[in-house]
A = this chain, B = another copy of it.
Amino acid sequence: MLESSKAAIDLDRAANVLKLLGDKTRLTMIKILDNHDACVCEFVEIFKTSQPAISQHVRKLKDAGLVRETRRGQWIIYSLNKDSEYFPLVKDLLLHLPNQDFRLKELEEQGLRISCE
């Protein structure tokens, strides 16, 4: 595909997005969200870290417009924001990363995923 046929993203903002994705936890989150929506409590289990730490990560992703939140009862479900101007960039990026479905599978086996649905 020709470069000119892509919507070029301002370098400043592209760098900011890449900085956000330049964190192992957030990058993994985005890769997971590429296949499945997820809530904070699931991420807490997956990353074995504190709930505030997770909340702060998803907030950054949300502030940048990369993810969206939808309240479902007590839970807030996060999903990739396909309308983001960065979505095409993110999508291309994710193609280079290994699938992370096994992480949610592990949760299901422990009966921890069902709790959020």
Contacts and interface: CB of A to CB of B under 8 A. Distances in A.
Assembly stoichiometry (copies): 2
Contacts of A98: 8-11
A40 B7 CA distance: 30
Nearest to A23: B15
Interface string A1-22: 1010011111110111111111
A33 interface: no
Instruction: List the 5 closest A-B pairs by CB distance, nearest first.
Output: A19-B22, A18-B22, A8-B98, A22-B22, A15-B24
Interface of A: 1, 3, 6-12, 14-24, 27-28, 31, 88-89, 92-93, 95-100
Chain A interface secondary structure, helix, strand, loop or mixed?
A: helix
A20 B19 CA distance: 8
Contacts of A24: 11-12, 15
Contacts of A8: 96-99
Contact of A92 (B9, B21, B27, B96): B96
